[in-house]
Structure 1
Amino acid sequence: MPDMRQTGTLLQAVLITALLIGMSGCEQKRLQALGTLEWDRVNGRAVASEPILEILARQGDLVSSGQPLLRLDGTLQEQRVTRLRASVQRAQWELRELENGFRSEQVAAAEAQLRAARQDRITREKEHQRQQKLLPSNLTSQQRADEVERAFKSAIAAEQIAQEQLSELQNGFRSEQLEQARAQLAAEQAELAYQQALLERYTIFAERAGRLDSLPFRTGDKPPAGAVLTTVLAGDNPWARVYLPEPWLSRLQVGSEVKVLVDGLEAPMAGRIRFISAQASFTPYFALSESNRSRLSFVTEVDILDDRALQLPLGIPVQVEPADD
């Protein structure tokens, strides 16, 4: 009987050891890089809150780069552009007027006014001199002499004003006025270009070739500004976004070949890592012990090098393993 008890104890110890080894193996197998199948998503957004006039493609269509997909009502924006075009034209004419200077007819008129003012000054100067000679002999009154003197001084001032006006026309506009006009024209042109660019964005184009995956609004809807109107799944092949366990970082890096497993596919698909995040998705509060490090995972993107991926639905779960496993 003691031999039987010893034999049972030994067998129990062997079974416990085997179970622990098995559990350890299961722990190792639980280190998996799991994630989902993704495509490059290119969203077209509403530039303004305006009604949808026309939808130019259907959900699921294959679209080419630059193909129009949807058009918003751009009536108000078109009016803004028209108003700015008129402002640019006005600024152009104002600048040209300053650059050309005054018309010859304006200069001729100013010259005639100067001649008339000079002749008036000469006439009043002679009358003033005559009054000054008559005043000592009492042949004129002091009041009359004062009136003539005031008229003479007014004629002098009028001649000076006419001379300055003619000089202004002959010299043209100041350089500062020209620079201000040029700056105003440049500002109007820049605003016009900006508003024209906005008007073009009232039509949503496919920025990349791919499949039109989402059209959340219908014709007549008025989505808010910034809302996603179209989503195109672009790229030659889908890719996988997975969470890479920390223990694998020593084996895998950008450029490493991996296997991509999907439920329903007997053979794994070939893949290549294109990106590994530098920061872990989980970081413990305390020192990184060995058990805690095994919980760290790093967002990783994997290019799938297999045409079978084209037939798989977006978001399907995938598992990534090192190619040499």
Structure 2
Amino acid sequence: MKRIALRSPLAAVLALCIVCAGCSREPTNSWQGYVEGEFLYLASSQAGQLTELSVSRGQTVANDTPLFALEARNETEAVAQANQQLQAARAQLADLTTGKRPPEVDVTRAQLVQAEADAARAATQYRRDEQQLRVGGIAQSQLDESRANALSSAARVRELQSQVVVAHLPGRSEQIRAQRAQVDAALAQLGQAQWKLDQKSVRAPHGGLVFDTMYRSGEWVPAGSPVIRLLPPENVKVRFFVPEAVVGSLAPGRRVTIRCDGCAADVPAVLSFISNEAEYTPPVIFSNESRSKLVFMVEAKPQTADAPKLRPGQPVTVTLQ
């Protein structure tokens, strides 16, 4: 009886330890993890002074909301210059394809009428001199001069007739082709200038949370340096690690429940990624099991409407359904 009395307190203590250990152990279908955010770092490809910061940290913005703008005087003037060059190139092309203006054609036609009158008068004088030469009224030299004058007047008429025809013709095909190339080059230059100008003002490519702003208005922003750090709700996910014995039963699309401190209710999510590479338990994940055990990283994404309930870096508990 004494030996039994001595053993009873020890057995009670051992039983209590086993019960406490079982109570402290987490369920086999629940694992600890943390919230991860894939941020969008929004920057301009051009450098400049920050003249307008339209949002503030912690603000939720919609798609295509203006975020910030840089000083753009040089780019604005470059667009105006390129536009004027394009207009000039198009005007030259139109001039080549339409021929001379009507007033210029009228001048040539008037000259043609005068030349035809001179040619008719010269031809009449030539016929008269031929008759006079037969009767001996003039010398041969005078007839030769009349013949030359008649031929010259007739040639002038043919010249002006050709000028009238040419005045209605467009420029040569090679000239037109070259000028069209000039128009295309001016159009491309205008597009480049407009693109640089558009880069000076940045809008939100997605709706989301303005997680942070890196510059203040008036500061110089180098090219490619992020000004806004944006977190779209669809880029919020939960990352946790499961043991090797469990990963084989998981598949993308499986539903899970996310529980966090301070959350009013559990957040439903769906598994989106399961790593194929094993790794040792990360030290950030606190577990009562051996840390030398291999685990696999798993990611789950909540619904877009539930994403704002979670904060990047926040510890959570993920439970399989």
Same fold (TM over 0.5): yes
Corresponding residue of 1:65: 63
Aligned mates of 1:243, 1:158 — CA distance in 2: 99
Identity %: 24
Q: Cα RMSD over matched residues?
A: 4.7
Q: Secondary structure at the match of 2:39?
A: strand
Aligned mates of 1:109, 1:256 — CA distance in 2: 88
**Aligned residue pairs, count:** 279
Corresponding residue of 2:18: none
Listed as ranges, the gaps of 5+ residues in structure 1 are 1-28, 284-293
In structure 2, relative to structure 1, the CA distance for the partners of 1:127 and 1:318 (3 Å cut) is farther
Superposed CA offset, 1:115-137 (max 9, x none): 223333444455666777859x8
Q: Secondary structure at the match of 1:315?
A: coil
**When the two structures are superposed, what TM-score results if normalisation uses the length of structure 1?**
0.63
Superposed CA offset, 1:123-154 (max 9, x none): 4455666777859x896466x77766665554
Q: Which of the residues 170, 181, 185 maps onto 1:173?
A: 170
**Aligned partners of 1:259 and 1:320 also within 8 Å:** yes
Aligned mates of 1:50, 1:123 — CA distance in 2: 77
Give the aligned residue type for 1:60.
G
How far is the alpha carbon of 1:88 from its aligned partner?
Answer: 4.2
Corresponding residue of 2:109: 111
Aligned mates of 1:34, 1:179 — CA distance in 2: 70
In structure 2, relative to structure 1, the CA distance for the partners of 1:120 and 1:246 (3 Å cut) is farther
Corresponding residue of 2:40: 42
Aligned mates of 1:184, 1:242 — CA distance in 2: 60
Q: Secondary structure at the match of 2:48?
A: coil
In structure 2, relative to structure 1, the CA distance for the partners of 1:102 and 1:245 (3 Å cut) is farther
Aligned mates of 1:49, 1:306 — CA distance in 2: 34
Superposed CA offset, 1:155-198 (max 9, x none): 444333211110123x3426957787777656655654554454
Alignment of 1:148-227 (within 5 A): 152-169=150-167, 171-173=168-170, 188=186, 191-192=189-190, 195-227=193-225
In structure 2, relative to structure 1, the CA distance for the partners of 1:146 and 1:47 (3 Å cut) is farther
Q: Which of the residues 251, 254, 259 maps onto 1:256?
A: 254
Give the aligned residue type for 2:109.
E
**When the two structures are superposed, what TM-score results if normalisation uses the length of structure 2?**
0.64
